Every structure is written in structure tokens, then in C-alpha cells.
């Protein structure tokens, strides 16, 4: 039995998954996280599909992504000695303006993807580093990338462009949108479980430490709150969200801040952390109930409501709202603050269903269906890897199961 490994490399973390391939969807065997890479208290945590904890037998500091991958894979091999890796799937944040589907990864492709690092400086270099480490560890395995920007390549021009001289658009200064792997999963899930809603006008709110919203028609992205970078749109855990560009000019001219200092401020010291002065974890902010934490939550939900109205205008109406991501899936307070008094908008929230984290949290009489759907980016990546193996096998004339049957 062959397996697929999925990798999602961040600046200080590495999410990983092990999937078994069969005749249907890839089946999760184990998923885990390498956290605090580059820090003395780095750790590896994992859990099997049936909820059993998998331990790291060699704790200690982890210097970089290559070492993080080595630790994760060593742990998987110790606990799953039958593992035979046929493919490795990667989440890569930026694929540029042309890539709209998963792509096989080669050294040449990785070299080409490096040019997008200035567009996503906190993500792209680590994604590429993780992919290179996987290629060295599994030289005979197929490698494939799923891009966060790919899902949004169906945007109309007016949702893609800034009002700058056209030469900048031609150079790549445009709205790309992100969290596309998550939105891809939600779109596919709706197609299978609620095809009428999938065919309609849907706004998906991916709310977590990174947060954005996406407007979909017939399962395709037509608008997103994130733009040129992962800074735009909603406020996030440590990122500012929408910002008047004049603020950046002020920081440069009046505060004397360098580009690196401004980047650190906007990416790492703003958002919920900056507003609350105490942290970026929504659970902590909800429990703290201080003036600052309440204000941070109020601003977060205000921006979600504002963007919901804007995206509904883009869609020309609204049939469903889907909450996903760590906050969207788990915070009944945030969902209530966003939807609780929007009867005028066609949304009528069911308080009991919301408190229970039910799949549908709107009432039967609500004109707009409000749903909570846990995202599964790893499954999207595993499916892409399975498809790559299937296509290679078919091209070679080899008998192989239809992995998406």
C-alpha cells in the first residue's frame, strides 16, 4: 500500500500529514505539527486518524525546515514502518498570475517560484525550502504543489487590478488572493453536500490567525479580501489587514522607519495582538474581557461584517455564508457578533445551533443559509498528489485505480 505525505511549511512551523492511497479518497493515517522551529523549545506533535497521540522520541531544538522535515519523517517511520511514500504534496502560497491548478514540482519549477518571494516574504521562502528538503529525502517520489493563489485566478479584471499605472500590473502588482487551498476544499465540499448552494452565491470566511473572505459563484472565486499580499483585508492575529497606504508613507517620513521595520510592524506586531496589547489567540481575548480585548474583537467583527456587505455586492446577492478556519469553526462569539443582528440582510441566526457548533447555524426561515464547515487543506493536497500519480500511471499505460472515484 502506497502513501502520500502532505507538507505545509510556515515561517516557524511545519504541518504534515500521512495519507494511505486506495480506490477512493486518500485516507488520513496521521497528521501533525512541528512548532517553534528555530527556538529552543521546538516540538513535534502528531495524532493518528483514530485520535491516538504519536510521540516524538528525539526531542530537542530544530534549526530549520530541513531539520523539521527530518524529525517529522523519522517519527512517522518509527510509528508506521509499513509507510511507502509515492508522492509528496506541498502547499505553496504564491503561484503567480498564471498558475490556476496544482503543478508537478521540479528543481526548475522551484527556481521559477523563487521570484514570487518578494510578494510573500514570510511564506514563500519557507514553502520552497520545505519542498527542496522533501525532494532530497524522497528523490524517487512524485512532488506536487497546491498554490493558495491558484483558486483566485478566475477573478474578473476589476477584482484583480489596482488603480496604478498599467506597467505595475504587467510587472505583477495585482490582487492575487490567498487561502485558496482552504477555499478549494469548501467549494468541493459544497458541491458534494449542498449542490444548490454551491451553484449559487456564497461568501466563505476563513477566520484564523490568518483571515480572509472569498466570494464564490458556482464554486469559483470572483472576489477576495486579500490582495497583493497576505496583509490586506481583514485584521488577523498579528497582521494589520486593510491599511491606508498613506500610513506607510507616514511611518517612513515621520517615524523614520525602514522597510524591514515597517514589514515587522505590519506582519508581526499588528492585528489582534497590536490592538489588544496582550496576544493574538482569540480564545485568550474572549476570556480576558478587558477593554482592549473587547475593542480588538469589535474591530475584527466589524471588518468581517463590512467585507461581507462588499462581497455580497460583488455577487449581486447572497445565498450562503460559510465559516471555516480555527476561529470560524470554533468561536460561537465571533459568529454571533457577525450574524446576530442581520435580519435586515436576510440572515437569521439560530443561537442554539450556533452554541453547538452545528453544521447549519441559521434558522429554517433565514433567507441566507449560514454554515460551519471545518476546512481540510491537507486532503486537497493529498488528492492532488493522488491525481498526479494516477495521471502518470495512465500515461505510462500502467493499470492503476481511479483515485478520485
Distance of CA 257 to the CA centre of its chain: 30
Query: DSSP string of 6-43?
Result: EEEE-SSEEEEEEEE--SSSPEEEEEEEEESTTSTT-E
Distance of CA 2 to the CA centre of its chain: 27
The angle subtended at Cα 356 by Cα 195 and Cα 291, nearest 5°, is 115
Would you mind telling me the total number of residues written for the chain in this entry?
405
**How far lies 44's CA from each of 5, 37, 62, 72, 381, in Å?**
16, 10, 10, 7, 21
Task: Report the DSSP pairing between strands 211-217 and 220-224.
Answer: antiparallel
Contact 314, 321 (CB under 8 A): no
Q: Determine the Cα–Cα distance for residues 114 and 31; give it in Å rounded to an integer.
A: 28
Closest CA to 219 of 322, 308, 147: 322
Query: DSSP string of 306-339?
Result: HHHHHHHHHHTS-SEEEEEHHHHHH-HHHHHHHH
**How far lies 61's CA from each of 34, 42, 58, 92, 129, in Å?**
11, 5, 10, 25, 18
Among candidate residues 148, 160, 319, 350, the one labeled active-site is 148
Active site residue 350: no
Catalytic residues: 148
Amino acid at each position: 500500500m502506497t502513501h502520500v505525505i502532505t507538507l505545509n511549511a510556515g515561517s516557524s512551523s511545519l504541518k504534515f500529514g500521512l495519507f494511505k492511497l486506495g480506490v477512493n479518497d486518500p485516507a488520513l493515517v496521521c497528521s501533525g505539527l512541528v512548532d517553534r522551529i528555530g527556538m529552543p523549545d521546538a516540538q513535534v506533535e502528531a495524532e493518528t486518524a483514530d485520535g491516538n497521540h504519536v510521540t516524538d522520541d528525539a526531542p530537542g531544538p530544530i534549526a530549520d525546515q530541513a531539520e523539521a522535515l527530518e524529525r517529522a519523517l523519522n517519527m512517522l517511520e518509527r510509528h508506521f514502518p509499513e509507510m511507502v511514500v509515492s508522492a509528496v504534496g506541498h502547499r505553496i502560497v504564491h503561484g503567480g498570475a498564471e498558475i490556476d491548478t496544482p503543478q508537478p514540482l521540479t528543481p526548475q519549477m522551484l527556481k521559477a517560484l523563487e521570484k514570487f518571494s518578494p510578494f510573500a516574504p514570510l511564506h514563500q521562502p519557507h514553502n520552497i525550502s520545505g519542498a527542496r528538503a522533501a525532494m532530497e529525502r524522497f528523490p524517487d517520489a512524485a512532488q506536487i504543489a497546491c498554490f493558495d493563489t491558484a483558486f483566485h485566478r478566475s477573478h474578473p479584471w476589476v477584482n484583480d487590478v489596482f488603480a496604478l499605472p498599467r506597467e505595475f500590473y504587467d510587472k505583477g502588482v495585482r490582487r492575487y488572493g490567498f487561502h485558496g487551498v482552504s477555499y478549494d476544499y469548501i467549494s468541493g465540499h459544497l458541491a458534494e453536500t449542498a449542490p444548490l448552494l454551491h451553484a449559487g452565491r456564497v461568501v466563505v470566511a476563513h477566520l484564523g490567525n490568518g483571515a480572509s473572505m472569498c466570494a464564490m459563484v458556482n464554486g469559483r472565486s470572483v472576489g477576495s479580501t486579500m490582495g497583493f499580499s497576505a496583509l490586506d483585508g481583514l485584521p488577523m492575529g498579528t497582521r494589520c489587514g486593510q491599511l491606508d497606504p498613506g500610513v506607510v508613507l507616514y511611518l517612513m517620513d515621520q517615524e523614520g522607519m525602514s522597510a524591514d521595520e515597517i514589514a515587522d510592524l505590519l506582519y508581526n506586531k499588528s492585528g489582534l495582538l497590536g490592538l489588544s496589547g496582550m496576544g493574538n489567540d482569540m480564545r485568550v481575548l474572549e476570556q480576558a474581557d478587558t477593554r482592549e480585548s473587547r475593542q480588538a474583537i469589535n474591530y475584527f467583527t466589524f471588518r468581517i461584517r463590512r467585507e461581507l456587505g462588499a462581497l455580497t455586492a460583488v455577487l449581486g446577492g447572497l445565498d450562503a455564508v460559510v465559516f471555516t478556519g480555527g476561529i470560524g469553526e470554533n468561536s460561537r462569539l465571533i459568529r454571533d457578533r457577525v450574524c446576530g443582528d442581520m435580519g435586515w440582510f436576510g440572515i437569521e441566526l439560530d443561537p442554539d445551533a450556533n452554541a453547538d457548533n452545528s453544521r447549519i447555524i441559521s434558522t429554517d426561515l433565514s433567507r441566507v443559509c449560514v454554515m460551519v464547515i471545518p476546512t481540510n487543506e491537507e486532503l486537497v493536497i493529498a488528492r492532488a498528489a493522488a491525481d498526479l500519480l494516477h495521471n502518470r500511471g495512465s500515461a505510462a499505460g500502467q493499470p492503476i485505480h481511479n483515485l478520485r472515484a
